[in-house]
Structure formats: structure tokens, C-alpha cells
Amino acid sequence: MEVLLLNDDTIAAVATGLGGAGIGIIRISGKDAVDIGNALFVNPKEKTLSEALSHQLLYGRIIDPGTKKEVDEVLISKMKAPHSYTAEDVVEINCHGGIVPLRKILSLVIKAGARLAEPGEFTKRAFLNGRLDLTQAESVMDIINAKTEKSLEYSVAQLKGRLSQKLEELDRALVGILAHMEVNIDYPEYDIEEISYEFVNKEIHKLMKIIEGLLLVAQAGKIYREGITTAILGEPNVGKSSLLNTLLMEDKAIVTEIPGTTRDTIEEYINIQGIPFKIIDTAGIRETDNLIEKIGVEKSKKLLSQTNLVIFMRDISQAVSPGEKELLELLKNRKTIYIANKTDALKKEDCKIPEPWIPMSLLKEQGIEVLKNKMVNMVYDGTVNQDADYLITNTRHIQLLEKTKTSLENAMVTMKTKMPIELVSIDIMDALESLRGITGKAVGIDIINQIFKNFCIGK
């Protein structure tokens, strides 16, 4: 891992959302944080921030040093290094949460010697100062962006270091294998190569099982983190927008009896049994001369290649049209749920709906729960352990785990062909480097910058 030079300057940013709120927080981190706080803060009992205990709130006011005017009534605290979020000296100013006081106080903090923090720089400093590893740092944004309680639960577990602990176990095992191999390389006169091959092969098989287990639940991790992109597809006026409104329990899409009402895709997240589904109501696919509707139809067709799940709807009271036959052909090799809507329009003797079609009447609110259960079952496919206390949720982690696995497979092939043990150790080193790329033990500053630039300012 290349040398990472820490900035020795002091950074500041608004740590809460801009807008009308009861409280807003300006966070300052760095060696001058306390001095900057002292320069702006006045306590009625003339107590300074320097004199205050760490993690103690002080009441007072922020004063503009240039004009001596009072800016806002505040509560201020300091957190002495290393017992803070960034492991540096941190000062937090709790003021009123309007845009004007937040911006005014932040501008005074910057005039006093701080600079505006870059996106994710507070968390980046926590990582560089050793308070968090990279998986924990990345979980901060996962917590902020959590779409369901379940995704929040897994993100919090990752922040606590549960995934890090599992990866650390793998790290120690790989280091142990390399140490064992070094004995053979450094003392060839003892002729223990056969014993080394047997030991290494056995240990690699153990590690492969652990990695395969992590990768098995990785798909579920991506689901909880990113959600399942689900397109509602069908011809115009079969009930797609009504289904979206029913799932969302609000009138998000305009519903009329006029075919082609939905001209563009409408997207919204819903939570079903802890799984976030990104539901997309598409424009009805049909031949049309309307230019705007044509564009919507083309977007719907392109969307097929980007979806995880399709809900195909048709009006069961009507005969199958040529357009529907074409759509059904397009969906043959895709994960699809088939909905036979408007069963309320059928005569009693015609109500037998063959599988895999789910009978539905949105008018009578029938079939919705069956659909929700089917959506959840199709996501899990019986392969996900829902009771796991950690999941791999990040695409970068998955790719590096797969690289680790590939390197271990290469090591087994090298041993099978009776190549020198020095060559086996190269594959093991590659595996260790890939694994350490997940936690940040072996990752360059360019990768680190790429990860943290996606954070919000103030985090």
C-alpha cells in the first residue's frame, strides 16, 4: 500500500441537511478546531472551549469577530483526539437549523482558519487515522441511503465491524499459510515440500468454503443496498398504473380509461418484507403514431435489459393480442411474474386462471398479497440466509472477493501440476492483496479518493 499523507489542516462543513429545522450542526475537525471555536464562541460565564471537558456541551453565542455582532444562540462541544469520529480534535456547533445561520457561522469558521471539507472528508480522515477500515467507512453512506429497516440493520452491522472481523479471519489464515510456506522456501534442505502441499491445499479448501459462503449471500447484500429494479410491463390500459398506485398506497400515476395515458416511465421505491423494490410503471407497449408515446414505448423496451424483475400484466377479459404475444416472447428468458388482471370482468365459469398467471382484480383489491409474496420469493429463490448478521453489500467488495477466490484456485492448480512452492506463494500473495483491498490495507490513494468522493459534504 502506497504511503498516504494526512492533511494537517482543519476542515469544516455543515453536517446536517440545509433547510428549515430546529437544529443545525457545523462540524470542525483538525488541529486548530478548538482554537477556531474559541475565536467565535462567547459563554455568559466566560468559560472557554479550551477549559471545557471533552464531550461536554457548553451554552453560549457565536459572535462575528469583525463586527462583534451576535450571530446565533448555540450549544458547542469539543471531542478531543483520538476519541472523536475522525480521531482528530473535533468541535461541533449546534445552532438553529435555518440556511442563513448555518451559512453565516460556517463562513466565520472558514475565515477563522478552517477550509471547506470535501465530500466524505470527515469519514476519509476517520479511515486514514485508523478509526475505521474501508468497509466500515463505506457503510456510513449505506446507512444514510438505507431504503428499508433491513438494509439499515445490515449497514449498521457493517459499521460495527462484523464484516471486517470475518475478513480479518481470512487475512490471518492467508498469512499463516504464507508463513508455513516460507519455512520450506528458506530451509529447502529439510525436504518438507510434500507436507507443505498437503497443508496448504487443506487450508485453501477451508478458505474457499468461507469465501463461497460470503459470495452466496452477496446477491442479497446488493438487493438490500440497491433494491430490485422491477418494471410493470404490458399493453395500454391493462392496469399498470393502478397496480403502481396500489403498491405505493398513493395516487402516484395518473389513471384514466384512455389508452396511452402513461407517456414516460414513473419510478418509486416500495418496501416489501424488508426488501426495497424500485417499481417502474412503463408506458404501454403498442404500435402508435403519437410521437411522445412512441418515445415512451421505446424507453420501456430498452428498460427490459436493465431490470431485475418484470411484472407482466394483461387484461384477462380480452383476447391475447399480437402485441402481447410479441411481449411474451421477449420475456421468455427473464425473471417474470405474470398477472391476469380484471378478473372481476369475467363470468364465474371463466374464472379459472392457469399457472403461472396470478389472478387479480385491482377493482376489488384481490391478488395483491399473492403478488407481493411472489415478488419476495422470486428475489430470494431459496438461497439467501435471512438471519445472517452481515452481508456483502458493495460491488467493489464482491469483485475483490471473486479475485481472491480466483487466486486461490490458481494456487490449487499450481500445486496440482507440482510446480515449485515459490510459485504457489505468488498466488497466495495475490489472494491476500485482493482481500486487503476490501478493508483498505492494500489500496492506493486513487481508489480511496474515488470511494469518498461519492459521500455527501459534512460526512
**What mean pLDDT do residues 231-258 have?**
73
Task: Tell me the C-alpha distance between 91 and 113, whole Å.
Answer: 14
State percent of the chain over pLDDT 90: 33
**What mean pLDDT do residues 220-248 have?**
81
Q: What residues contact 151, with CB distance under 8 A and at least 6 apart?
A: 142, 224, 225, 274, 276, 393
What residue spans of 354-420 are helical by DSSP H? 368-380, 395-416
Q: Pairing state of beta strands 309-315 and 228-233? A: parallel
Beta bridge partners of 366: 361
pLDDT of residue 38: 94
Question: pLDDT tens digits, residue range 411-459?
Answer: 999 888 888 878 888 999 999 999 998 888 876 677 677 777 777 777 7
The SS3 of residue 42 is strand
Q: What residues contact 218, with CB distance under 8 A and at least 6 apart?
A: 391, 392, 393, 397, 398, 401
Listed residue (163, 159, 157) closest to 140, CA to CA: 159
325 CB neighbour count, 10 Å cutoff: 9
Task: Tell me the C-alpha distance between 254 and 111, whole Å.
Answer: 51
**What mean pLDDT do residues 132-154 have?**
77
pLDDT of residue 256: 40
pLDDT of residue 186: 54
Domains along the sequence of the chain with CATH: 11-133 (3.30.1360.120), 144-217+391-439 (1.20.120.430), 224-380 (3.40.50.300)
Q: What residues contact 219, with CB distance under 8 A and at least 6 apart?
A: 383, 384
pLDDT of residue 285: 52
Which phi and psi angles does 43 have, rounded to 5°? Answer: -105, 135
Residue the block writes with cell 429497516 = 149
Q: Quick one: CA torsion of 346, 352, 356, 360, rounded to 10 degrees?
A: 40
Listed residue (92, 11, 12, 76) closest to 41, CA to CA: 76
pTM for this one? Answer: 0.62
Sign of CA pseudo-dihedral 208, 211, 213, 218: negative
413 CB neighbour count, 10 Å cutoff: 11
Q: Pairing state of beta strands 309-315 and 336-341? A: parallel
Cell numbers that stand for 451 in this block: 470511494
User: pLDDT: is 48 or 267 the higher one?
Assistant: 48
Question: pLDDT tens digits, residue range 72-101?
Answer: 999 999 999 999 999 999 999 999 988 999
Task: Tell me the C-alpha distance between 170 and 109, whole Å.
Answer: 45
Which phi and psi angles does 319 have, rounded to 5°? Answer: -70, 150
The SS3 of residue 176 is helix
